Structure 1
Amino acid sequence: MKRWLSSIIDIRKGEVLVTTLMVLNIYLILVTYYLLKPARDSLFISVSGAKNLPLVFILIALVVVPVTTVYSRISRSFRLNQLINYTTIFIIINLFLLRWMISLPGQVWVVYAFYTWVSIYGALTTAQFWLLANAVYDASQAKRIFVLFGLAAIIGATTGGEITNLLIKEFGVSTENLLYFCVVFMAVCVFLVTWIWSLTQKDIDEGPVARGSRKKAEPEASMGEVFRDVKSSRYLMMIIGIIIMTMVTATFVDYLLKAVAEVAFTPAGALKPDKEELSAFFGKYYGRVSLLSFLVQFFLSYRILKVFGVSGAIMFLPVSQLLAAVGMAVAPGLASGVILRGSGDVFKYSIDKTGRELLFLPVPLDVKKRVKVFIDVLIDRWFRGLAGGILYIFTAVIILTVSQISMMVIGIVLLWMVLVLFIRKQYINAFRQALDKGEIDPAQLTFKITDASTVDNLIKALDSDNARQVNYALGMLAEVQNEKLIAVVQPLLKHADREVRSRALRVLGNQGERGLGEEIRLLLSDEDAEVRIEAMHYIYLSNPDKGGELLRQYLKGDDFYLQSAALGCIARYASRDEKSLITGEVIERFLNRQDEHAVPSRKLLAAALGTL
């Protein structure tokens, strides 16, 4: 538990205040979104009816592209803090206008506008937050801190849903008046962004949106190039096919839940559902599903990936949808609808999300960037709109029942499962090819590799006669914990390539097995400084109670190799308190060397002092 908590809360000196403000910011953004979502759903269903949901699905697909284009052009004219705050103020003004328009009698079009607006709000505000986060933190900080923002977002979603239910049920707040609470939260976000910017602006001096990356902007790929990338790769075509099936299924399932909720919350003899009951229901639903998704992601995803691999992980979502769709077809109702969409939402944002990230692992980075744009711009929007169009035909033209639409979902999911079965072999082949070509950049990984098939392929690569490929595999395994690694990595400690020895030590140090002490001590005399530092770090980890004292003894000794290894280990890995071991006396000893180690001694000291 302590290790798990430290992986989430790893905030260092100078980061506490800014990170706290960023956590509050994403928390309030999600609280607001999950106040708006139940209001959006209940207002639309109570005014226009669930039968018209397909039309608003189509409308969202049509509106998002021009809105995104306009926003992109406007963003070039402002610094990032100005862009975010002006957008937030515009949102606040919109909320007041929407609250007024909702109160106007007979204006059905308003609920269409509100539904579409909320969908855009959710995408826009979260995208702006991550723009700010990437501007405030560098890559090394991001790996430590961004997981905390993900946790804050989940808690915010859960809080927003539960607050909606509480305000309506216990305090009698009307659905329309939830928008006033959103205004307050958004106003606080303006204050938070202003404060964050004032604390970090000295580090953000390149202009707004461009600051997200320090690299020179790459020319945008044409859609023709992207189509060629996809067409030339059977593997990419399968990934996109799975994403399309996921989107179409999610759209159908969204409609089914709202259709049965409309019936369930329509009082006997009434023509329309109870708006407040619907809002309270959707608030509770979104809150509980967010909480379950968090629990699955943090406590089950790792184990599932480790046991079942990538293909097993991405099979969880379609299997859950298949079983739940059968239940909906046989016994349509609110309980079946909650299980159907709830299982989809829980797995989609936990196990399936991680599995899909792993599917893209063997794809070259430049191709991955182009295909992601293709998915975000075309696949996501067009196929959600297409699903809405198909749903409209089913509900307004053919007039299918909930059970019959559930049967359609079963057919889509079966096709989805076939694609998952076929992609397993394609994934293994693509991963092997990527390893051979060195197309996976370990520095680009935003998650830990845990699935069995990927780890097994990396272990096989360790037997290669090519030192470059072995180094590459060790780099990918640097943060992996797997009992198989100790036996296969240990022989690499005697490898002729010094980088292989160094990386092998790093992998072994991460395994928690401390029975290699004698073999590791021999490497303290290795000719390579990096190998000696990693060997010292392994010994330091093997003595958690007296690691600091060992480092002190090595620093005071006469052996330059041991001294330099201890200094390098302290600079790179030691805690803030243990860095105090680099005393004035130690500094003088390194500065005053006049032997053959004088130059490397001073270089190492300069690097160590730079970390203090």
Structure 2
Amino acid sequence: MDKSASFINRVLNLRSGELVRGLPLFGYYFLVITFYMMARVARDAIFLDSFNREQLPYADMSVAVVAAFILAPYIRAGYKVSLRNLQMGSLLFFTMNLGAFWWGFHFHKWAWLAAAFYVWVGVCGILMVGQVWTLANFVWTTREAKRLFAILGSCGIVGGIAGGFLAKWIAERAGTDATLLFMSAFLSFSAVLIWIICKQEQMGRSATGPPEARETPRNLMESFRIVRQSPHLLAIAALILLSSVVTSVAGWQLKAIAKDTLVQKDMIAAYLGAVAGYTGIVSLIAQLLITSKLLRRFGIGVALLVLPLSLTAGSLTVLLWGTLWAAAILRGSDGVFRYSIDTSAVQLLYLPVPANIKVQVKSFIDTVIWKLGDGLAAVTLLIFATKLHLTPQRISLVSLVLLAVWFTAALTARRQYVATLKANIQHVRIQPQQVLVPVLDQFTTKVVAEKLNSPDPNEVIYALTLFEMGQQLHAHSAIRKLLEHPSPHVRKKAVSILSAAEDLSVKHQIVAMIRDNDLDVRTEALRYLSRHDDMDPLNYIDRLGDFADFSIRSATISFL
């Protein structure tokens, strides 16, 4: 059992005990995304059973309006109510809501209830997904988050897969309305997991009392002001806004064509669930096999263009054929690349943002700006679909125009990222211990590597620390050259990073560094070899003798 745990920790690059402590939060996010995917499938099928496709934009606009009124009080409540009580209370409240919705659909079939459920799912999804990441930021340190966030994100993708296929299975066997009962069970169990997480972590005031004051903007207007004053943040906001508009329009096209083709509620739900499930599988594969390699080789500029390029191809497919399978390809291309390559690229865009405002402005952009985009998509559809009576097939022409603007926004965001990153590294404004990104892209790595050529050892140490910002650490050739740097502090840091990156190409150099003149360098070399060479550290300790006490313990534990 211990060997299995050790193997899993090494494969996932985790420290002892982190996987066990992370399991409740992994389960929480998995259940939340499973719930949300099932809720989206159910709400679309139920709404289309009571209304026609031209009325969908009104529902989407209502979601944006209601969310605008709810988000501000919810954010203020986060500063006054304990995090645990806020999250558990909201989940139990939503569970009771689902029971009421199921009762109304099952016994009365009120049309207005279908519209209310549509809006409820939209608002609920915003709050619940954000709650998971908020809790994760409280219970994990920055270093733990670097190792665990990638697993947490993968649990979300798996939850989307499970939610899609489960919604399909329930709709085919028990009817769409029955999905609400399963969803309520997921939310109830999620509330239990929150209690376990808070109890397990013994978070004290950070979970059971109001969060301590931070130097961050505390309301939406202040967040808006900060975004407006920063060209870099404005570029990110424009990118997110356009992404929301185009993907919302693509979602409407699939639902509209499904309504015309399948007609019956349970058939629509089963089909939308299947599309979501298979899209999730491909997205997970892309996340595991493509995302990191693409960012490292081609950089953030290319990564930001992948999603709009795929949506352009999908829109052209719908424009040419206008069939259900064409709409599924369009929607699938959104799901596959948005939750893998595009998400990682957008996360990188926040890297140069100062740590004291990052959480708040990111929350503002990811919620308010995203929902604003949903509202603008609804207005766009009201004009072109409802008033001008463009078919779902012809709506692709509108999408293609928006995509052209999206390409421009992506190029602008890349340019602003480059300028901001260089300036902040030059003035030492980025604090690596407070930064978390999935992987450093090609350009970021190049900018940081240039700093390694500085004659000042302190600047070199700072640059080396910047390499540790990525969840997936990757050794750079410039780091290997630092093994012969005159400064022992630089040599020690270089060995540490190469060890964390599991770079075995320098093993012969590390062996030679066991006899380095500096004790700390020898200690770090010993720890490297005990981890990657299956070498008994006691052999070297007996031979050379001069090692710090903590290095003997650390290397021995690593070896065992």
Partner of residue 568, structure 1:
550
Determine whether 1:208 maps to 2:211.
no
Mapping for residues 332-347 of structure 1, pairs under 5 Å: 332-347=322-337
Partner of residue 359, structure 1:
349
436-445 or 371-380, which moves further after superposition? 371-380
Q: Displacement, 1:408?
A: 0.6
Q: What CA distance in whole angstroms lies between the structure 1 residues aligned with 2:206 and 2:404? A: 50
Q: Displacement, 1:40?
A: 0.5
Mapping for residues 386-397 of structure 1, pairs under 5 Å: 386-397=376-387
Q: What CA distance in whole angstroms lies between the structure 1 residues aligned with 2:237 and 2:243? A: 10
TM-score, length basis structure 1: 0.82
Partner of residue 456, structure 1:
446
Partner of residue 539, structure 1:
529
Q: Letter of the aligned partner of 2:126 in structure 1? A: A
Q: What CA distance in whole angstroms lies between the structure 2 residues aligned with 1:206 and 1:450? A: 30
508-517 or 31-40, which moves further after superposition? 508-517
Determine whether 1:39 maps to 2:42.
yes
Mapping for residues 382-461 of structure 1, pairs under 5 Å: 382-461=372-451
User: What CA deviation, in whole Å up to 9, does each residue of 1:480-502 have, x standing for no partner?
Assistant: 7657x33x334433434443222
Aligned match for 2:508, one of 508, 517, 524: 517
Mapping for residues 469-480 of structure 1, pairs under 5 Å: 469-478=459-468
Q: What CA distance in whole angstroms lies between the structure 2 residues aligned with 1:423 and 1:72? A: 28
- CA separation of 1:448/1:168 partners in 2, compared to 1, >3 Å: closer, same or farther? closer
Q: What CA distance in whole angstroms lies between the structure 2 residues aligned with 1:200 and 1:516? A: 38
Count of paired positions: 553
Q: Letter of the aligned partner of 2:41 in structure 1? A: P
Q: What CA distance in whole angstroms lies between the structure 2 residues aligned with 1:4 and 1:357? A: 29
Q: What CA distance in whole angstroms lies between the structure 2 residues aligned with 1:296 and 1:229? A: 34
Partner of residue 180, structure 2:
179
Q: Displacement, 1:118?
A: 1.2
120-129 or 241-250, which moves further after superposition? 120-129
Q: What CA distance in whole angstroms lies between the structure 1 residues aligned with 2:14 and 2:482? A: 34
Native 8 Å contact 2:216 2:360 kept in 1: no
Q: Letter of the aligned partner of 1:391 in structure 2? A: L
- Unpaired segments of 5 or more residues in structure 1? 266-272, 579-612
- CA separation of 1:445/1:173 partners in 2, compared to 1, >3 Å: closer, same or farther? same
Determine whether 1:56 maps to 2:74.
no
Aligned match for 1:244, one of 241, 244, 257: 241
Q: What CA distance in whole angstroms lies between the structure 2 residues aligned with 1:221 and 1:84? A: 19
Q: What CA distance in whole angstroms lies between the structure 2 residues aligned with 1:94 and 1:573? A: 54
Q: Displacement, 1:304?
A: 1.2
Q: Letter of the aligned partner of 1:37 in structure 2? A: R
Native 8 Å contact 1:239 1:359 kept in 2: yes
Give aligned-pair identity as a percent. Answer: 26
User: What CA deviation, in whole Å up to 9, does each residue of 1:511-532 have, x standing for no partner?
Assistant: 52344635763464434x5433
Q: Displacement, 1:94?
A: 0.7
Q: What CA distance in whole angstroms lies between the structure 2 residues aligned with 1:318 and 1:516? A: 43
User: What CA deviation, in whole Å up to 9, does each residue of 1:518-559 have, x standing for no partner?
Assistant: 5763464434x5433222223334522xx2x2x113444573
- CA separation of 1:435/1:280 partners in 2, compared to 1, >3 Å: closer, same or farther? same
Aligned match for 1:152, one of 143, 152, 155: 155
Q: Displacement, 1:276?
A: 0.6
Partner of residue 588, structure 1:
none
User: What CA deviation, in whole Å up to 9, does each residue of 1:408-457 have, x standing for no partner?
Assistant: 10011011112323444443333222221122222233234342222222
Q: Letter of the aligned partner of 1:535 in structure 2? A: A
Native 8 Å contact 2:91 2:187 kept in 1: yes
Partner of residue 99, structure 2:
96
- Pairwise CA RMSD: 3.0
235-244 or 93-102, which moves further after superposition? 235-244
Q: What CA distance in whole angstroms lies between the structure 2 residues aligned with 1:356 and 1:233? A: 16
Partner of residue 161, structure 1:
164
281-290 or 498-507, which moves further after superposition? 498-507
Q: Displacement, 1:382?
A: 2.2
468-477 or 131-140, which moves further after superposition? 131-140
Native 8 Å contact 1:75 1:209 kept in 2: no
Q: What CA distance in whole angstroms lies between the structure 1 residues aligned with 2:461 and 2:558? A: 30
Partner of residue 192, structure 1:
193
Q: What CA distance in whole angstroms lies between the structure 2 residues aligned with 1:101 and 1:8? A: 49
Aligned match for 2:260, one of 260, 263, 266: 263
Q: What CA distance in whole angstroms lies between the structure 2 residues aligned with 1:168 and 1:403? A: 27
Partner of residue 526, structure 1:
517
Aligned match for 1:284, one of 270, 274, 282: 274
Q: What CA distance in whole angstroms lies between the structure 1 residues aligned with 2:480 and 2:26? A: 41
Q: What CA distance in whole angstroms lies between the structure 2 residues aligned with 1:303 and 1:178? A: 38
Native 8 Å contact 2:253 2:327 kept in 1: yes
Native 8 Å contact 1:131 1:209 kept in 2: no
Partner of residue 120, structure 1:
123
User: What CA deviation, in whole Å up to 9, does each residue of 1:113-147 have, x standing for no partner?
Assistant: 10111122222223333333344333333333333
Q: Displacement, 1:402?
A: 1.9
Partner of residue 313, structure 2:
323
Q: What CA distance in whole angstroms lies between the structure 2 residues aligned with 1:472 and 1:99? A: 57
Determine whether 1:304 maps to 2:286.
no
TM-score, length basis structure 2: 0.89
Q: Displacement, 1:195?
A: 3.7
Partner of residue 585, structure 1:
none
Q: Secondary structure at the match of 1:402?
A: coil
- CA separation of 1:305/1:13 partners in 2, compared to 1, >3 Å: closer, same or farther? closer
Q: What CA distance in whole angstroms lies between the structure 1 residues aligned with 2:409 and 2:22? A: 41
Aligned match for 1:553, one of 539, 542, 552: 539
Native 8 Å contact 1:163 1:283 kept in 2: yes
Native 8 Å contact 2:530 2:558 kept in 1: no
Q: What CA distance in whole angstroms lies between the structure 2 residues aligned with 1:15 and 1:455? A: 28
Q: Displacement, 1:255?
A: 1.0
229-238 or 428-437, which moves further after superposition? 229-238
The structure number with the bigger radius of gyration is: 1
Native 8 Å contact 2:83 2:208 kept in 1: yes
Native 8 Å contact 2:246 2:403 kept in 1: yes
- CA separation of 1:535/1:228 partners in 2, compared to 1, >3 Å: closer, same or farther? same
Q: Letter of the aligned partner of 1:208 in structure 2? A: T
Q: Letter of the aligned partner of 1:359 in structure 2? A: L
Native 8 Å contact 1:514 1:542 kept in 2: no
Native 8 Å contact 1:26 1:152 kept in 2: yes
Q: What CA distance in whole angstroms lies between the structure 2 residues aligned with 1:460 and 1:445? A: 20
User: What CA deviation, in whole Å up to 9, does each residue of 1:317-362 have, x standing for no partner?
Assistant: 0111111111111211211111111101111111011111112223
Native 8 Å contact 1:524 1:536 kept in 2: no
Partner of residue 500, structure 1:
490
Q: What CA distance in whole angstroms lies between the structure 1 residues aligned with 2:270 and 2:528? A: 54
Q: Letter of the aligned partner of 1:314 in structure 2? A: L
Partner of residue 600, structure 1:
none
Q: What CA distance in whole angstroms lies between the structure 1 residues aligned with 2:6 and 2:340? A: 21
Partner of residue 108, structure 1:
111
Q: Displacement, 1:58?
A: 0.9
Q: Letter of the aligned partner of 1:262 in structure 2? A: K
